[in-house]
Structure 1
Amino acid sequence: MPADAALQAAWGRIPSPGTAETEFERFTRKRMERILATVAAIGSAILSAQALLAAFGRLTDGVSGVQITLVIVVYVPLIAMLIACVVGRGVRVCAGTFAIVYVVALAAWPTVTGMGADHPGQPWIFFLVNIGVVAAMLAFRLWAQIVWAFGVPLVYGWVRLVEGEFTGSYWTTTAFDVSFTIILGLVIVALGWMFRSVAAGVDEARARAVGSYASVAASAAAEEERVAMAALMHDSVLAALIAAERADSDRARDLAVAMAREALTRLANTEAVVTQEGSDDPVATALIVAELRRALSELGADAIVEERGTAGLIPGRAARAIVLAARQAMGNAIEHAAGRGMHVIVEGRGDDGVTVTILDTGPGFDIDAIGEDRLGIRASIMARMAALAGHATIESGDSGTRVDLEWERT
């Protein structure tokens, strides 16, 4: 399995929207942006409604059409921002547009309205100061957010002082409003930065975890492919060559040709063999007995395959691996012990598992002396059984050799 395929498999185990790798890597950050936009829409809707009521109160007092135009100029991008936050599309564009339009409208307030000290109370546009900072938090980078958090309240303070003609009473109230608004704006920016940093940290941790998973999965897949290929070469190709070398009769030559044909077929389908060792449909344990008897016939051995226990169904892949491992064990008994006293026992345990035992009365061998490069036992028997969560035990001595191949349903 290539590393890229392993990486995609890793991401597939973690619930995430989309299919692109960048979407996977920013999954938590996208969720956090959605949450921030939703919360900002709720708070901004409340404040904007309050400001709109204040604006209507002024309009009923006979305010000029310029102020009506100003309300429209400010509220059109504001409503667009609220809709974008709810829908989840175009948030940055709409929020950035409102942030800029609002600052321009706020700075132009004294000029276009002509209000002075004879108009007490805060103008409706003041209620939108914090919304301007929220819009900057949604649309701009951190440094621009900080500029807005300081700049918008200062612009408001300048507007209030101009309206009050810089009289002493305006300085005190304006200083309080500006200070409070700056603190609140910095809190909004800090919260946005904190939540985004946490989300980015989670995404980074997830990316590292998936990267580790992909590396391990790729290594495991490569090792599995190596073992499967080594077992294939030993089971099919080398066995066919040995059979061809020892063929001294027409029947032996026919068997060698059949083994060579099977070896070539399996080599031609190497990728399918590696990824799936046969069908995984359930098969009866009787099929294992039949396959082992056929293998003995092909190997030219005269031995008994005895069926014991309770017949049942096991996965086809497990049955295929057991047959191949048993065939290798029988081949070893024929090659190194001349098949002397060979006896094969297939003991079923219903649908819970099966055990295949290969016995011979040959001279035996030292298991610990087997080299790492000898694939007959380590790859074709041990590794093959381990690959399907089974067990292979070998006992050998002067009285003979016993190979037990056990698979149990987990």
Structure 2
Amino acid sequence: MAETDRSVLDDAWGRIPHTREGQAEQGSFTQTRIERVITLIVGPGSLVLGAQAFAAAFGPGDEAEGWHVPLVLAVFLPLLAMIVACTIGRFARVFSGIFAVVFVLALALWPIATAGGPPPAPTENPWIFYLINVATVATVVAFPISLQITWTVAAPLLFGVVRLVQAGGRSEFILPIALDVTFALILGSVLLTLGWMYRSIAANVDQARASAVSSYASAAATAATEHERVAVAALMHDSVLGALLAAERAATPRERTLAVSMAREALTRLANAEKDPLEGSDEPVAALRLADDLEAAARELGVELTVARAVEEGTPRVPGRVARALVLAALQAVANAVQHADAQGLTVLLTGSTTPGGVAVRVRDTGPGFDVAAIPADRLGIRGSIDARLAAVGGRSEIDSHAGGTTVTLEWESGDRW
């Protein structure tokens, strides 16, 4: 049932249109888009504030001689990289984190860089002030919520401290600096809260979507199971019981032959009960056609398979019903190898011979193997989909499994009466 749920969930997810940036995990469909929206907002917003700070940096600076240009380059180059990364949607977290760290280091160096410089004016803010909230919003892109809060509080307070140190603690600077710090704290808190709020909403939407799809998958799986139960019950009543009654009442060779034919038909339908398409024509096909059909069927299961071919010229054509049984049985063997042996050393060989005249398909893997005799009676992956399917068309199946791997051999000879 778990595999059925997963299959239905994957099918439902596949019906949702996927954009280029939408190839994300199913549980983060909305969160991925919110993250992209945040980076698209942060990029242009940082560009505006960064341009204001850059213009202010061209005016008279507070730094001492030899400090202005290195400090400007050290701050604005990571800022430019962050803006570009947020705009194109690549490495946004990396460069945003770098800028946030570099800005705090630049603030910490500010008292040293301004020592011996021109005296500051209480009403004029240095260029670095305009980037405080840019550093705050950079943490919204780069860091978890705990570090976002730390940066939002620490960056304005650090600016206030270094600005007071630069001013020598003069009283006329206290009120302007307090206003600047308060403004930066309020704006930074608003930006942080908006980012947290939108991410929380996106997470709740994704959780609700996952719950809805899971409920749909469970309901669809239950409906599919019930449909299969009804179909098999009808098959048992119409075909299997009919064949048993015919066998019980058979008294002449002709009636026995008819009963055998009905039993084989019932086994074929039972083995193919999970296949929706009709059985198709019984027109004979070339032996090489089996390899093509098996590769195509495996591809539908998501397995890229190349079937080796060793078919002699003059190999008899294979009846359509036999060909389908061989392909479906081999596909079941391939599915078992993928599921239980992780497709280790998986190879498939199709052989055809003129004497005695027939075809064989061998599916090999180098997995851990299993005990064929220990398979529970209610497991029909081998008994129903391989053994019964081949027996229904007069073929033979053989399974050889040991610690070094498993080989499934499926054979049909043109002389067999199927």
**Secondary structure of 1:58 counterpart:** coil
Q: How far does residue 64 in structure 1 lie from its aligned partner after superposition? A: 3.2
- Matched with 1:130 is 133
**Secondary structure of 2:274 counterpart:** helix
* Cα distance in structure 2, aligned partners of 1:75 and 1:247: 95
Q: How far does residue 250 in structure 1 lie from its aligned partner after superposition? A: 4.6
- Matched with 2:37 is 35
Equivalences, count? 276
- Matched with 1:144 is 147
- Matched with 1:229 is 232
Do structure 1's residue 106 and structure 2's residue 112 form an aligned pair? no
Range with greater deviation from structure 2 (149-158 or 226-235): 226-235
**Secondary structure of 1:271 counterpart:** coil
Distance change >3 Å, CA 150–CA 20, structure 1 → 2? closer
Do structure 1's residue 214 and structure 2's residue 217 form an aligned pair? yes
Instruction: Report if the CA contact (8 A) 1:99-1:132 is conserved.
Output: yes
Q: Which runs of 5+ in 1 are unaligned?
A: 280-410
Range with greater deviation from structure 2 (235-244 or 198-207): 235-244
Distance change >3 Å, CA 147–CA 10, structure 1 → 2? same
Q: Which runs of 5+ in 2 are unaligned?
A: 281-418
- Matched with 1:77 is 78
The aligned runs of 1:178-217 (5 Å cut-off) are 178-217=181-220
* Cα distance in structure 1, aligned partners of 2:47 and 2:83: 7
Letter in 2 for 1:53: A
Q: How far does residue 117 in structure 1 lie from its aligned partner after superposition? A: 6.5
Q: How far does residue 170 in structure 1 lie from its aligned partner after superposition? A: 0.6
Do structure 1's residue 173 and structure 2's residue 176 form an aligned pair? yes
* Cα distance in structure 2, aligned partners of 1:45 and 1:94: 14
Instruction: Report if the CA contact (8 A) 2:63-2:118 is conserved.
Output: no
TM-score scaled by length of structure 1: 0.63
TM-score scaled by length of structure 2: 0.62
Quote the sequence identity (%).
Answer: 50
Match of residue 23, structure 1, among 6, 10, 25 = 25
- Matched with 1:307 is none
Which stretches of structure 1, 4 residues or longer, exceed 4 Å deviation after superposition? 16-22
Letter in 2 for 1:26: S
- Matched with 2:319 is none
Do structure 1's residue 14 and structure 2's residue 19 form an aligned pair? no
Query: Higher Cα Rg: structure 1 or 2?
Result: 1
Letter in 2 for 1:181: A
* Cα distance in structure 2, aligned partners of 1:18 and 1:159: 46
The aligned runs of 1:203-282 (5 Å cut-off) are 203-272=206-275, 275-276=276-277
Instruction: Report if the CA contact (8 A) 1:244-1:256 is conserved.
Output: yes
Distance change >3 Å, CA 231–CA 18, structure 1 → 2? farther
CA RMSD of aligned residues (A): 2.4
Instruction: Report if the CA contact (8 A) 1:98-1:135 is conserved.
Output: yes
- Matched with 1:326 is none
Instruction: Report if the CA contact (8 A) 1:18-1:24 is conserved.
Output: no
Instruction: Report if the CA contact (8 A) 1:41-1:86 is conserved.
Output: yes
Do structure 1's residue 68 and structure 2's residue 69 form an aligned pair? yes
Distance change >3 Å, CA 4–CA 74, structure 1 → 2? same
- Matched with 2:329 is none
* Cα distance in structure 2, aligned partners of 1:117 and 1:79: 28
* Cα distance in structure 1, aligned partners of 2:242 and 2:178: 94
- Matched with 2:159 is 156
Q: How far does residue 114 in structure 1 lie from its aligned partner after superposition? A: 2.4
Instruction: Report if the CA contact (8 A) 2:114-2:166 is conserved.
Output: no
Instruction: Report if the CA contact (8 A) 2:64-2:113 is conserved.
Output: no
Do structure 1's residue 51 and structure 2's residue 53 form an aligned pair? yes
Q: How far does residue 215 in structure 1 lie from its aligned partner after superposition? A: 0.9
Letter in 2 for 1:146: I
* Cα distance in structure 1, aligned partners of 2:172 and 2:201: 44
* Cα distance in structure 1, aligned partners of 2:99 and 2:251: 93
